[in-house]
Amino acid sequence: MISNKKALEMIDVIADMFPNAECELVHDNAFELTIAVLLSAQTTDISVNKLTKNLFQKYKTPEDYLKVDISDLENDLRTIGLYRNKAKNIKKLCQSLIDQFDGKIPETHKELESLAGVGRKTANVVMSVAFGEPSLAVDTHVERVSKRLGICRWKDNVRQVEDKICTVVPRERWNKTHHQLIFFGRYHCLARSPKCDVCPLFEDCREGQKRYKASLKEA
């Protein structure tokens, strides 16, 4: 693993590449954001945005989701993966909001994680994006990028990745860094075809160097 100083230098380069990175899930409030993040599991933000364009017109409150049959809600979600499970979790989540939180999205990690379908990653996104609380959610892009660069070890789990990045990056930058690492993974260091040939981190990147040496052998 590289030093914390080197890791921060790399993250600074990424920050310069994507200074305006932000949440790409379209939403108007904390409730819509929570639903959108829940829907985004194993699905692209683009697919979720296509779906929520109509969904958020039809369902505006937790009560709206509880009024319809589960089969109708499943039908509304069927363009995205795991839609049956997601429909079930949305129903449960909405019931909990009404029963325990006055119909509103709670503002603590613990309460958020008590909701159906909401794990640490979703809670971190909601705390960060909806409530401005410093949090760093680790999604597939953040995990892949931080491991490729050697900021984290390949064997680290998502919680270890989160802890490591939060150690390296000053707390006031956590929210922005989360989006910048996602953008870097989504638009530059892609899972299948990272743009190593034009990457400013190539010289210091263990994955980039490995891929380069492998390409020389193949040539």
Give contact residues for ligand SF4 (rule: CB under 6 A): 148-149, 188-189, 194-196, 199, 201-202, 205, 207-208
User: How many CB atoms neighbour CB 143 within 10 A?
Assistant: 20
For residues 102 and 111, give the distance between their C-alpha atoms in angstroms, rounded to a whole number: 13
CB of 4 to ligand SF4, least distance (A): 18
| Catalytically annotated residue among 76, 86, 91, 139 | 139
197 annotated active-site? no
Nearer to ligand SF4 among residue 86 and residue 178 (C-beta): 178
Nearer to ligand SF4 among residue 87 and residue 196 (C-beta): 196
121 annotated active-site? yes
For residues 137 and 127, give the distance between their C-alpha atoms in angstroms, rounded to a whole number: 10
| Catalytically annotated residue among 121, 147, 164, 176 | 121
CB of 214 to ligand SF4, least distance (A): 12
Nearer to ligand SF4 among residue 84 and residue 195 (C-beta): 195
CB of 208 to ligand SF4, least distance (A): 3
Nearer to ligand SF4 among residue 178 and residue 186 (C-beta): 186
DSSP-derived secondary structure for the chain: ---HHHHHHHHHHHHHH-TT----S--SSHHHHHHHHHHTTTS-HHHHHHHHHHHHHH--SHHHHHHS-HHHHHHHHTTSTTHHHHHHHHHHHHHHHHHHSTTS--SSHHHHHTSTT--HHHHHHIIIIIT--------HHHHHHHHHTTSS-TT--HHHHHHHHHHHS-GGGHHHHHHHHHHHHHHTS-SSS--GGG-TTGGG-HHHHHHHHHHHHH-
CB of 170 to ligand SF4, least distance (A): 22
Binding residues for [4Fe-4S] cluster: 189, 196, 199, 205
Q: Would you please indicate which residues are annotated as catalytic (active-site) residues?
A: 121, 139
